[in-house]
Structures are given as structure tokens and as C-alpha cells.
Amino acid sequence: MDLLWMVLLMVLVCSEAENVVKVRAVLGEDVNFTCSINHTDIYWYMEIQNQLRIKIGQVFSSAVPSYFYANFKTKYLMVKNQLVIKNVSAEDSRLYFCRRTENSSGDTFLLISDVSSSVNRSIPPPVSVIKAWQKELVVLTSFSLNAVLFVAVLAVGSC
């Protein structure tokens, strides 16, 4: 049983170890991320609050891109395997991710503007984004706790 927990821990740690592509941007200009995933369906995410990932949207081969929030259409443009951030501001300096599916590995980009990144991390995201993610975080936490409980019941049952 201890071996199982060690393997699980290694999988979790290794899944977060990724190469980060640093991209410099000039405030007020557009910046482009190109995902190396050679697939027609791609999910784009950004990190807020140094750990919280929020979906920007997804691009499908046969459809118009789907944005997670309607107001993201004015800030982001998704075409095939590319994400364009329009009119870069200091608030945009953060991590961005592309994935083939919601839970797969992919590319990670760090957007660096000409403003100090320590200042950028202190700028809060819009209130509507925080409220929406608080609801999703509760669901995710509940799901995680149920998964842990399920594994514990399986472990006790196998003894």
C-alpha cells in the first residue's frame, strides 16, 4: 500500500514538471502563443492567484472557438493552435497553458511584460472571474475529497 502512495505521489509531481516558454511582450501590443500540440481540438488556460487555472476557451476543428466567458472574446483570439492576447497589459503577465484535453499535458507559456512580474502578480483578476472560479473551486474540492474517500474505502476494504 505504501508503494501505491509513493507511485501516486511521483505521478502527481512529474505531471506538473513542464518546460515553461518565456514570452516577452510590449504593453499595448498583441502577443501570440503557438502550441506545439498537433491536433485540431485544443484547450487554453491561464493561471490566476498563483495556483488557480481558469479556462480561456477551446478551439475545435469544425467549429468557431468557444470562450469560457463571453468577455474573453474581446481580449483573446484562438485560431487553430494559436492564442493571441490583444493589447497586452500588466495584468496579462501570468502563465498560460495549452492542452489537447482538459487533463492532459501540453505547453506552458509565461508572459512577461515590461513591468516587473512581482508587481503583476499582485494585480487581482476581475471580480466576475473570481466569483465564477470560487463556485468551480468548491465543486473541484468536493470531487477531490470524494476521490480521496473512495480510495480510503478501497484500501480499508482490501485489508
Angle at 139 between CA 136 and CA 143, to 5 degrees: 140
What is the pLDDT at residue 135? 59
Give 60's DSSP letter: -
132-152 pLDDT tens trace: 555 566 666 766 777 787 788
Mean pLDDT across 47-60: 87
57-106 pLDDT tens trace: 998 876 788 899 988 999 999 988 899 999 999 999 999 999 987 778 88
User: Which of 70, 108, 73, 114 minimizes the C-alpha distance to 92?
Assistant: 114
78-88 pLDDT tens trace: 988 899 999 99
Burial of 89 (0-12, 13-18, 19+ CB in 10 A): middle
What is the pLDDT at residue 51? 78
